[in-house]
Amino acid sequence: VTSLAAIHAFVSASHDVTRWEFSAFAHQILPQNSGFKAVIWLPRTNQAARKGFEARMQSDGLYGLKLRELTASGDLVTAATRPNYLPVSYVEPFEGNGSLIGVDLASNPIYAPLFETALRTGKAAVSPPLAHALVEGARQPIVLVAFPLNRTARAVKVNAAGPEGYALGILQLDRVIEDSFGPGAPIQAAVAYGA
């Protein structure tokens, strides 16, 4: 979790993080923590700012990018119109996961409850072990960790619209347990113990 906290601090301290800055920083952090399969930055974007977000991503080299969402059957479609979005803005590693850029997770039934918990508490929220994650090649079970981000002191009181965004980590639980308990540690016992 220290890696995600470091990425959260990096994004918090930056006025406007570019994809290249996020990539360079994440590549320094991820090798130190084998449990992380991916880290993601999701800025909050409202309907009025949607076209501007899409234009910025397109000018950053993601030509033709539009906000999308996952259907219940797992298909990617154009995101519906709604007041707020949490689109994947940056993901590392990018290779194998680049197609996630622009995918809105605000209404996704797996991810939305995690963001709601982080919004309510103003602190990092951790999911229960999950069987699925959006990133390619993640081994089950997966645990998600979301840090809400507010860059300024004015945001000590989180407003109803939510924080400025979230740093999201996708952890492979078996790797976390292996790092904590050593190779060959039974995952069921470690989960039961509360790892």
Half-sphere exposure of 28 (CA within 13 A, CB side): 8
Q: How far is CA 141 from the centre of its chain?
A: 17
Say how far apart CA 148 and CA 24 lie, in whole Å. Answer: 21
Mean pLDDT value across residues 36-60? 87
195 confidence band (pLDDT: 50, 70, 90): very low
For 144-164, write each residue's pLDDT tens digit: 888 887 755 444 444 455 678
Greatest mean pLDDT among 12-16, 37-41, 50-54 lies in 50-54
pLDDT of residue 194: 41
pLDDT of residue 178: 60
Environment class of residue 171 by beta-carbon count within 10 Å: exposed (0-12), middle (13-18) or buried (19+)? buried
pLDDT of residue 71: 87
Q: Which residues pair with 103 in a beta bridge?
A: 68
Is a pLDDT exceeding 70 seen at residue 136? no
Decide if 35 contacts 145 (C-beta within 8 A): no
Tokens of 172: 């492979």
Mean pLDDT value across residues 129-137? 72
Mean pLDDT value across residues 49-69? 85
Say how far apart CA 117 and CA 82 lie, in whole Å. Answer: 20
Mean pLDDT value across residues 105-132? 87
117 confidence band (pLDDT: 50, 70, 90): very high
pLDDT of residue 183: 56
Q: How confident is the prediction for the chain on average, in pLDDT?
A: 77
Is a pLDDT exceeding 50 seen at residue 65? yes
pLDDT of residue 72: 82
